[in-house]
């Protein structure tokens, strides 16, 4: 790792908590503040860890709190969105995508499955079935050796959650860490990993705003582990340069190359 500390930004729309008293009672300072506090308190388990520098950002801030300068020093971005996906500026989405491709980690939570940034990085619709009925969710740990699952048992349960059900329109995950079962009978791939460019992405399903999910210790442990897993291994900007040959080319090769150049410009001899 190239940093002594991991710079983490927890991003949140911060609209539900301001507009709905029952949600504000669960997250009085916002979902982002609850997640940030948990990350400060709970150490990651199961692998080498680095200390964290944690900040927050919200939709209403200038540039949504994600300026070029701030993202340039961000190692892992945690994203919670729901009702305001359309309000996120496309310029900021492109900025975040560029940083992921360069090596920044991205953790997308719950209804962030429909965020502009997640759908762009997945290249699919990211649609699913849903139902809000305060039903039990049993989260099965199907890859117990994975660092994100460190410290967890065979499964953990959330007494009340919004149901998400298959089919989840995502590309095949590189790894599926969790599968959820719901009281109504549906199942869902609720913890999935991908790599895009040089960056790692983790999608984690639990976290509907109407329930105290982010106060749950197992959920907090997953997030602490995921931040360490998603940490950059490199920070590299890919380009598309014209490249000089490493070896001496034959005259025949140069002749074909010249023909190719003339053809590509429309100047065919």
The tens digit of pLDDT for each residue in 177-224 reads 999 999 999 999 999 999 999 999 999 999 999 999 999 999 999 999
17 inside domain:
yes
Mean pLDDT of 119-142: 98
- Percentage, residues of the chain above pLDDT 70: 91
* Per-residue exposure over 143-162, b if at least 16 CB sit within 10 Å of its own CB, e if not: eeebbbbbebeeebebebbb
Q: Pick the residue with more confidence: 234 or 94?
A: 94
**Residues 39/107, Cβ–Cβ less than 8 Å:** no
- CATH code at position 205: 3.40.50.880
Q: Evaluate whether residue 58 is within a structural domain.
A: yes
Residue listed under structure tokens 């997953």 = 222
Q: How confident is the model at residue 1 (pLDDT cuts 50, 70, 90)?
A: very low
DSSP code per residue over 131-142: EEEEEEEEEEES
Q: How many domains does the chain contain in total?
A: 1
- Domain carrying residue 15: 6-230
260: confidence class by pLDDT, cuts 50, 70, 90: low
Q: Quick check: is 265 in a domain?
A: no
Q: How many residues does the chain have?
A: 269
Regarding pTM above 0.85, the answer is yes
- Residue 23 tokens read as 């949600």
Query: Is 258 part of a structural domain of the chain?
Result: no
Residue 54 lies in a domain: yes
- Domain for residue 13, yes or no? yes
pLDDT greater than 70 at residue 269:
no
Task: Return the H-helix or E-strand segment holding 53.
Answer: strand 52-58
Residue 188 inside a domain? The answer is: yes
Cβ neighbours, 10 Å, residue 236: 12
Distance CA 185, CA 164 (A): 11
Judge whether 256 lies within some domain: no
- pLDDT category at 263 given cuts 50, 70, 90 is low
């Amino acid at each position: 790792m190239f940093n002594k500390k991991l710079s983490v930004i927890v991003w949140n729309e911060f609209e539900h908590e301001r507009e709905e008293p029952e949600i504000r009672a669960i997250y009085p300072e916002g979902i982002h503040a609850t997640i940030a506090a948990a990350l400060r308190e709970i150490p990651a388990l199961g692998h080498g860890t680095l200390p964290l520098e944690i900040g927050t950002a919200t939709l209403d801030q200038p540039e949504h709190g994600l300026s070029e300068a701030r993202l340039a020093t961000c190692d892992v971005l945690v994203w919670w969105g729901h009702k305001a996906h359309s309000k996120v500026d496309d310029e900021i989405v492109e900025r975040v995508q560029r940083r992921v491709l360069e090596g920044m980690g991205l953790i997308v939570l719950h209804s962030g499955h429909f965020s502009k940034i997640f759908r762009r990085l997945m290249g699919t619709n990211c649609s699913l079935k849903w139902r809000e009925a305060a039903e039990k969710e049993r989260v099965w740990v199907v890859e117990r050796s994975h660092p994100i699952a460190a410290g967890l048992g065979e499964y953990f349960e959330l007494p009340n959650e919004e149901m998400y059900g298959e089919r989840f329109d995502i590309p095949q995950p590189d790894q599926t860490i969790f599968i959820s079962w719901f009281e109504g009978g549906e199942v869902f791939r609720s913890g999935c990993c991908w790599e895009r460019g040089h960056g790692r992405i983790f999608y984690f399903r639990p976290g509907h705003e109407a329930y105290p999910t982010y106060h749950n210790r197992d959920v907090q442990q997953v997030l602490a582990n995921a931040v360490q897993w998603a940490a950059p291994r490199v920070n590299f900007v890919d380009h598309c340069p014209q490249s000089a040959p490493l070896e001496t080319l034959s005259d025949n090769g140069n002749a074909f190359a010249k023909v190719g150049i003339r053809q590509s410009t429309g100047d065919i001899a």
